[in-house]
Amino acid sequence: MNMIAIDIGNTAIKIGLFVEDSERFIRTIQENQEDAIQRLGDVLVEAWDQIPVGKDSRETRRDGWIVASSVQDSWTEKMEQICRDRLGEKILLIGRDVPLPIEMGVDHPSAVGTDRVLNAAAAFAVIEDACIVADFGTAVTIDLVDENGVFLGGVIAPGFAMGAGALHTGTSKLPLIEVTVPTDPIGANTEAAMNSGLFYSAVGLLRIITEKYAEQLGRWPQTVVTGGASKLLKDNCDFIDSWVDNLAVRGVVLAYKKYLDDQTEMADRDQQEQEQVPNKTTKSFPPLN
């Protein structure tokens, strides 16, 4: 299968190219860059040009799809416009054109960010058992999938940059910092103290939530982390089982594959049902004397 998988997040957009089910590349573009639209268009053109032309296509149409997950309506519209203008193609959107790939056990499934759902579905597809999926991005989300593959929900908290920004804007003297792995948990100056506070708040949150989820399940599930800031945590939390970069992009691929499989299964079932229906004979009235 050939496709461009797009993850439109709160601060960045990731574009992945998959040709014959093989990952060619995944690129990240920050939404606040001045040339973001131009760069996104260039990456999409580069990716689309690598998708082969359909064997039976008289119009040399490429045999691939563009599928996206988005938590930003404004950027969804921009990406759809870029694809129309630069590629002459449309985007299939998870949750609108493509169903969610996992059973939802929450109050309002449509209100859950598709990035969270795709992360969970991609992790469960590999683990095939209960798992915790933590995404450390603009926000921190820590979600639980049960042993039956049902997305149960989770927690949402501020990410590193958001927390650092809140400390800076909400006080008169605290500087704006970029969180790094602390060399010492005890901050000997203001910047170090802020850094330790933000970093270990995330570590502590993940640890306590993991314990709470384990108590609810009655056993320890596997814990998977992803997201830009997860690189800081993956080597500093001994209870993390796996670190997977760009998990949501891979979830987009999984969601579309499942959608195609479901469509094929429905078509096969309809065909079988039609074949099982006995032929109806038409009765005619005897001629009138």
Count structural domains, the chain.
Answer: 2
The predicted structure's pLDDT at residue 280: 52
The predicted structure's pLDDT at residue 58: 63
Q: Is 107 domain-assigned?
A: yes
Note the Cα 275 to chain centre separation in Å. 40
Residue 195 shares a structural domain with residue 108: yes
Picking from 33, 66, 93, the residue at the C-terminal end of a domain is 93
Picking from 65, 93, 121, the residue at the C-terminal end of a domain is 93
Q: Is 123 domain-assigned?
A: yes
Cβ contact 50:24 at 8 Å = yes
- pLDDT one digit per residue (tens) for the chain, 289 residues: 899 999 999 999 999 999 999 999 999 999 999 999 999 999 999 999 999 997 765 667 889 999 999 999 999 999 999 999 999 999 999 999 999 999 999 999 999 999 999 999 999 999 999 999 999 999 999 999 999 999 999 999 999 999 999 999 999 999 999 999 999 999 999 999 999 999 999 999 999 999 999 999 999 999 999 999 999 998 888 889 999 999 999 999 999 999 999 888 877 777 777 777 665 554 444 554 4
Residue 11 shares a structural domain with residue 56: yes
- Helix and strand counts by DSSP (H, E) for the chain: 7, 11
Q: pTM of this prediction?
A: 0.88
Could you give the CA distance from residue 251 to residue 243 in angstroms, rounded to a whole number?
15
Two tokens at 17? 């190219």
Handedness of CA 19, 69, 213, 232 (dihedral sign): positive
* CA distances to 33, 78, 208, 216, 256 from 21, in Å: 31, 27, 38, 37, 12
Closest CA to 262 of 118, 110, 101: 101
Domain of residue 35: give its range.
Answer: 3-93
The predicted structure's pLDDT at residue 288: 45
- CATH number of the domain that 48 lies in? 3.30.420.40
* CA distances to 43, 131, 204 from 218, in Å: 46, 13, 21
Quick: pLDDT tens for 265-274. 877 777 777 7
Closest CA to 229 of 256, 194, 202: 202
Quick: pLDDT tens for 54-84. 776 566 788 999 999 999 999 999 999 999 9
The predicted structure's pLDDT at residue 272: 74
Residues with active-site annotation: 115
Q: Is 265 domain-assigned?
A: no
The predicted structure's pLDDT at residue 278: 61
Greatest alpha-carbon span in the chain: 113
Residue 132 shares a structural domain with residue 237: yes
